[in-house]
Structure 1
C-alpha cells in the first residue's frame, strides 16, 4: 500500500484520571491530532489514522508521492553539491530513476522532511518536543521479504556473501557501517586468536612477546579501520555528510559557542564524582569479597560468599542508571546543534561508566589482589583482631589469653596468619577473564535473542488472563467488533498491514549504542587483559561469528526497523578504540613487569641477575611485617613495606612512561603505512576524483559553454596562440628572437 512511515500517537495516558481531566485530555488530543494531519497533508504527504493496540492509541500511516520524492532528491543533491559532497549530476534521466531509489534513501529523505525544523525545509514534526508531546515515535515498517532473505543468507552462507551494499540499501549507512566494522573486527581477531592458542599451549601467561604482539595488533587494527571507514564512506557517497546534517529541533540557534563549551566543562566534575563513587563502591565490594568473606567463619559463612554478588546486582546498576539520567540531562543542557555531536557527547560520558564497570574488577585483581594478596590478607586480619597477627597457633593462643575479646572474635574470624595464603585464589584472574569473555557473552546473547521471546510470551499470557477475567466488558467487546469490521472493509491486505504495524509499534527502537559498546568493551578485554588468559581472543572470535547472525536476527525480529541515517564514521567509538589501544600498551607493560616469571630468560636482564623483583620484595615485606610489627611497621614513616611499595610505584611509572612514548612512535609509523597502502591511489579515491571532475564539467557547461584546456596550453582545436609585441623604433619585438642557442654555441667556439 506504499506506506513509508507510521506515527504512533497516544491520545490518553495509562494513568487513571477524573472525568474532567479525561475530557480536557481528549480535547487537547483532538486539537493536536487535527493539526498533525493538516501539517502532513499540507506538506504534500498522504496521511490516514487507524486504531492502535489500546484505547486512545492511534497509528497514522504516511506515504510520500513520487513527485515529492523527486523534489527532495533535487534539494538534497543541490545541498550536497554546495557542501562539497560527492553527487550525481542532476538530469532528467537521473530524476526518472527516483522510482528505483534504494529503500533506505527514500526513507531517509522522507523522515528528514517530516522531522527537520522549518528553517531546514522540514515539517517540524519531532517526537518529544512540547509542540508534539502526544507523538510517541515515528518508525518505518520492516520489509519481511528482505528480512527472510537476509537471515537465510546469514545462516546458510559465509560471512563474505552478505555485502555491505545490501545492508546499506535496506537500513542505511549507519547500520551498514556497524556491520562492516563488526565483520572487519571479527576477521582481524583471527591473528591474535592463532597467537593466543600458540602461547596458551606452548608458552606462558604474561609473556612479553605475546603482550607486544597484542599491542601491535590493537594499534594496527585501529589505524587500519581509521582508513577503512573513509574508504567505505567514499563508496557509499557520504564522505563529509556531517556538513549537511539537519539541526535538532531542541537546538537554540541564539546560543553562544562559548556557553556550550562551559556547560561541557561543568559536567566534568559531576562525571568525576560519579566515577569516584562507582570506584569506591566496587573497591569496597572487591575487598569484602576477596578478603572479608574468606576470613569469616561465623554463622552462615557458607552463604556469605554470595553477598558481594547480591550487593553488586542491587547497587551498581542503580548507580549506573542514575548516572545515565544525569548524563542525558547534561548532554541536553549543552544544546548541541546536530544529532551526531549530541550522541557523541552522550556516548563519551556513558562509556566512562561502562569501562569502569567492565575493567575495574580485573584491575583490582591484577594490581592489588594477586601481587599483594597474602600481605593484604594479613593486614585485614590485623584490622579484624585489632593487633598483631600471630604466625603460629601457640602465639595466637597466647594473644587470645591476654585479650578478653579475642575468644569471641576468634569464633567468627580466622585470624591465623598461617592460613592467609590458603585463603587466596591463585587462579582468580583467569577465572575472571573466563567469566567476562565466555559466561558474560553467553548471557548477553540470551538477553538479546532469547529473553524477548520470554517477555512476549509473559505479556501475551497476562493480556489473555486480563481479558478472560474482565469477561465481555463493553470496552473490550467494542474493540473486538471494530477490528472485525476493519477486516471486512479493508480486506486481508489492510488487515495484515494493521497487525504488522501494531506488533512493531510495541517493539523497542533499535539502539546502535549497545552493539558498539559491546564490541568496544570486548576489544578492551582482548587488548588489555588477554596476556592473563591467551585464549580470550579465541572466545571473542567465536562470539563474534555468532554475533553477526544474532545482531541481524535481533534487528529483524525483536526491534523496530532502524531509521536510515547518513554517516561517514563510527564516531566517538573510534576514539574509544584508540584510547584502549594506548591503555593496552601501559597495562601489558605493567602486567609483564609485575608477573612475568623471573626465571624465564625472556624476562631476565642483568639487573635481575639472581635478585628478587620489586613486587616480590614488596610482598615479602608485607607478609613479614604484618606478623611482627603491625600496621605501623608496614605503612609507618620508616616502614619497610612503604619503602618497597614506593620503589615499585616508581618503577611502574617509568615502565608506563616508556610504554606510552613507544605507543606514540608505533602509532605514527602504523598510520603512515596505512595511509600509503590503503588510501593513496585506492580505487575509491580515484572514483571520487572522477566524479568530482564530471560534476564540475556539467556545472561549467550549464553556465553557458566551457573551454577545455590541454596540458600543453593549447585550445581544443590545437590552435597555436602567437603573442607578438609591436615593433618599437624599428627594433625587434621581445618575443621574436632567442639568444639561448647563440650563447651555447659561443661556449664551443671559446673552447
Structure 2
C-alpha cells in the first residue's frame, strides 16, 4: 500500500502473478464454452501472454469484484463487507492515449467519422469502442439530413411534407442500420453473445434465504411497484416546467411594472433553482429503486437505471417544444387574453383592498377613489393619484418562438455542453493549481500542482486500479485504493496534501508514478450515460422537431465533429480510465432510439397538419387577412407565423382545442401505423442487403461450426463435415472390402454389377 492524496487515504496496489492469471484465463475460456459463446476468438488464444492489456484488466477486475458465488473475491466499493473501499479504477495507459489522440490529427481522421481500422485499435475497450462506432455512424447519417435541411432552408419551406416524410424515413433507416452495424462489430471484435457469460453482481442475493436466487416475478413486481414513484416525479417535473413556461411566455410579456428586467430573468432563475434539485432527488430515488429490484447482472441493472433517468431528461428536453407547438402557437392569443384578464382582475382586487386599508388608517375615502379610478382604467393613470400601470393590455405572442427554441437547443445548448465537457475542466484545474500554490507555498509548487490537477469533481475517490505496461507482459499490475474515511475532509477530492518525510528518499520515478496515481484517483469516473444521453437527445431534436427549423441537422453535424474529438480528449484527460468489459450492444439506448423514431412519425404528422395549410386547408382560409395572429420573422427570414393559424384564429371563427387537435391526433395515429409498416419494410431490405451473405455473417456461422469441430475432434471423431483424409479413406476402403467378402450374399445380387457392362456396350455402339 501507498499513501493517498489526502490524510487517511491508502492506495493498495495488487499484482496478479502469472499462474493466477493463467488459471483465470482458462476458467474464462471454459465458462465461455459451457455458456455457448459463439466465438472462437478467445479459444484460439493458447497463452495468456497474447492477452491485450484491456483483457488483463477485465479478467483481474472481474475476479476482484465478482461475488464469492461466482468465484470472485466480492470486493465491491461501498458494500457492507467492504465499507472503506471507495472505488475501483484502472490506470491510464499514457503511451496509448498520446498515440490515439495524435491519430485524430491525421488527414484520414479529419472527417465526420471513424474507420474500422481506428475502431479496432480500441476494440478491447468494447463499451467505449461501441460508443465511438455509434457516434461515427450517426454522424455519417446526419450528412444526408443536413443536405436536405440546407435545400429546404434555402427554399424557405419549413413544415414541408416531403422533408418530414424523408425525416421519418431517415430515422427508421438509421435505427435499423445500427441494429445490423452493432451486430457486425460484435462479431468482428469477438463479443457476440457476451451477455451469456456475464458474471452475477456481488450485490445480487435472495433477501429470504441469502442464496443467489431470485425469481423473475419478484423482480417484475418490484419494477411495477416503482412505477408510481416515477410517475409522481414525472407529474411534478411536468407541472414545474409547465408553470415556468406559462410564466415566461405570458406573465413576463404582460408585466410592465417596477423590476421588469428582473422579472424577465425569473423563469431562468426558477428553472435553475427547482429543476436540478428535483432531478437530483429523483436520481437518488431511482438508484434506490434499481438496487431494490435486485438485478442479477450489471447490464440489466444499468438498463433499468438508464431508462428511469433518461425518462425525466427527455421531459426536460422536449416538453418546452411540445408546449410551444401544440399549446402556445395554436392557442397563444386566447391564453394571453385569459392570463391578462386574470392578472388585471387580481391587480384590481389587490389595489382595492390596499385602498380600503389606507382609508381605514387615514379615515378618508381618497384611497378608494384612486383604486376605483385605477380599476376602471386598467391602470392608465390619468389622475395624479392614480395607480401606476404594471400590466400591458396589448401584449402579443411571439410567432418565431418555435424557431428560436430550436436554435437555442441545437446551437446554444450544444456549445455550452462542449465547453462544459472539454474547456471547463482545464479552467477548474488551473484554479485548483493556483489555490494549491497559495496554500503550500513556493517550496511545494510541484507537488501542489499535481495534487490540484484532479478536475472539477466534488468528492475524492480511491479504488482498485489495474494497469499493464505492455501487451507482452503477463502479470497485471492492479492497484486498489482503500480509503479510510476518518476525518472530516477525508472524502473530499482536493483535501490538504500530506507530505511525509520518507518521501524524499524514494526513487524519482516512483514518486512521479505515485503522483500520477494520486492525480487519477482524484478524477471523476467516466460513465457512458452522459455521452449516450446527449446524442440520443440530439437525435430526438433532429427527428422530432427539425421540420420546424431545417438547419437543425446541420448544427448537429457540426457539433458531432467536435464531439468525436472532445469525447476522446475527455476520456483520456479529464476522467479515469473506464473498466473494460465485453458487450455486443448499446443496450437500452437502441430501444430508446426506436421509440423516438416511432414518436417522430406522430409529431411530424401533427406539425405538418397544424402548420402546413396547403396540404390540409382550413375551412376558414378565406378570412386569413383578418386574422388576429401576429406575424413575425423567423430565423430563415420567412414569415414565421403559420398561415394555418392566420386562417384559424379569427374573431368570427373560434376554434376549440378539440376541433383543432383532434384531427391532428387522428392523423398522428395513422402515421403510427404507417411507421410500423415502413419499419418492417426497411428491416427486411437491410437484413438481405447488408447482413445476409456479408463477411461478418459468414464469420459468425464459421465460428459456431469451428467450436463444434474442436469439440468433436477432442472426442476422437474424424471426418467431420466430409473432411476425410487419405489415411481415413484407405482405412474405410479396406473395411468395406472385408465387409463385402464376409457379407452373406447367396444370390449374388450385390456382387454382380451389370451397370458397367451396359455402359461399355453403349460406348461401343456409339
- The residue matched to 1:62 in structure 2 has which SS? strand
Alignment partner for residue 692 of structure 1, among 683, 704, 719? Answer: 704
Unaligned ranges ≥5, structure 2? 206-211, 349-369, 381-387, 445-488, 490-494, 628-641, 755-766
* Pair 1:493 & 2:519 matched: no
CA contact (8 A) 1:74 1:90 kept: no
Distance 1:249 1:620, change over 3 A: same
- The residue matched to 2:200 in structure 1 has which SS? coil
Distance 1:106 1:317, change over 3 A: same
User: Deviations along 1:79-102, whole A, 9 cap, x unmatched?
Assistant: 1111111343888x9333x22321
- The residue matched to 1:155 in structure 2 has which SS? coil
CA contact (8 A) 1:445 1:550 kept: yes
- The residue matched to 1:624 in structure 2 has which SS? coil
Alignment partner for residue 199 of structure 2, among 234, 246, 250? Answer: 246
Per-residue deviation at 1:605? 6.8
Q: How far apart are the structure 2 equivalents of 1:621 and 1:707? A: 80
Per-residue deviation at 1:380? 1.4
Distance 1:379 1:157, change over 3 A: same
Write out aligned runs for 1:493-572 (5 A): 493-572=509-588
Match of 2:470 in 1: none
Q: How far apart are the structure 2 equivalents of 1:685 and 1:106? A: 28
Alignment partner for residue 117 of structure 1, among 37, 50, 67? Answer: 67
Per-residue deviation at 1:645? 2.6
Q: How far apart are the structure 1 equivalents of 2:721 and 2:683? A: 38
Write out aligned runs for 1:586-597 (5 A): 586-596=602-612
Write out aligned runs for 1:71-220 (5 A): 71-88=23-40, 94-96=45-47, 98-159=48-109, 160=114, 163-169=118-124, 172-220=125-173
CA contact (8 A) 2:538 2:556 kept: yes
Give the number of the structure with larger relative contact order, counting CA–CA contacts within 8 Å between residues 6 or more apart.
2
Per-residue deviation at 1:317? 0.7
Write out aligned runs for 1:652-731 (5 A): 652-708=664-720, 710=722, 716-717=729-730, 719=733
Q: How far apart are the structure 2 equivalents of 1:318 and 1:294? A: 27
- The residue matched to 2:693 in structure 1 has which SS? coil
* Pair 1:335 & 2:263 matched: no
User: Deviations along 1:322-344, whole A, 9 cap, x unmatched?
Assistant: 11111111000000001000000
User: Deviations along 1:136-185, whole A, 9 cap, x unmatched?
Assistant: 1111111111111111111334334661111123xx11110001001111
Distance 1:165 1:81, change over 3 A: same
* Pair 1:227 & 2:180 matched: yes
User: Deviations along 1:411-459, whole A, 9 cap, x unmatched?
Assistant: 444453xx24xx2222111111111111111111111111112222233
Per-residue deviation at 1:701? 1.7
Per-residue deviation at 1:306? 0.6
Match of 1:480 in 2: 499
- The residue matched to 2:14 in structure 1 has which SS? strand
Alignment partner for residue 416 of structure 2, among 416, 439, 443? Answer: 443
- The residue matched to 2:104 in structure 1 has which SS? helix
Q: How far apart are the structure 2 equivalents of 1:89 and 1:193? A: 40
Distance 1:481 1:381, change over 3 A: closer
Unaligned ranges ≥5, structure 1? 1-48, 390-399, 626-639, 739-751
Q: How far apart are the structure 1 equivalents of 2:56 and 2:105? A: 29
Per-residue deviation at 1:721? 6.3
Per-residue deviation at 1:272? 1.3
Distance 1:84 1:53, change over 3 A: same
Q: How far apart are the structure 2 equivalents of 1:340 and 1:407? A: 66
User: Deviations along 1:581-607, whole A, 9 cap, x unmatched?
Assistant: 0010000110000011x3x4xx25798
- The residue matched to 1:63 in structure 2 has which SS? strand
Distance 1:321 1:609, change over 3 A: closer
CA contact (8 A) 1:298 1:412 kept: yes
Q: How far apart are the structure 2 equivalents of 1:445 and 1:100? A: 38
Higher helix share: 1
CA contact (8 A) 1:124 1:249 kept: yes
Q: CA RMSD in A?
A: 3.5
- The residue matched to 2:584 in structure 1 has which SS? coil
Q: How far apart are the structure 1 equivalents of 2:291 and 2:233? A: 18
Per-residue deviation at 1:405? 2.9
CA contact (8 A) 1:108 1:563 kept: yes
CA contact (8 A) 1:51 1:58 kept: yes
Q: How far apart are the structure 2 equivalents of 1:478 and 1:571? A: 41
Q: How far apart are the structure 2 equivalents of 1:556 and 1:477? A: 26
CA contact (8 A) 1:707 1:716 kept: no
Q: How far apart are the structure 2 equivalents of 1:317 and 1:157? A: 42
- The residue matched to 1:94 in structure 2 has which SS? coil
CA contact (8 A) 1:267 1:330 kept: yes
Q: How far apart are the structure 1 equivalents of 2:74 and 2:666? A: 57
Per-residue deviation at 1:383? 1.8
- The residue matched to 2:547 in structure 1 has which SS? coil
Distance 1:89 1:616, change over 3 A: closer
Normalising by the residue count of structure 2, what TM-score does the alignment of the two structures yield?
0.78
Distance 1:624 1:415, change over 3 A: farther
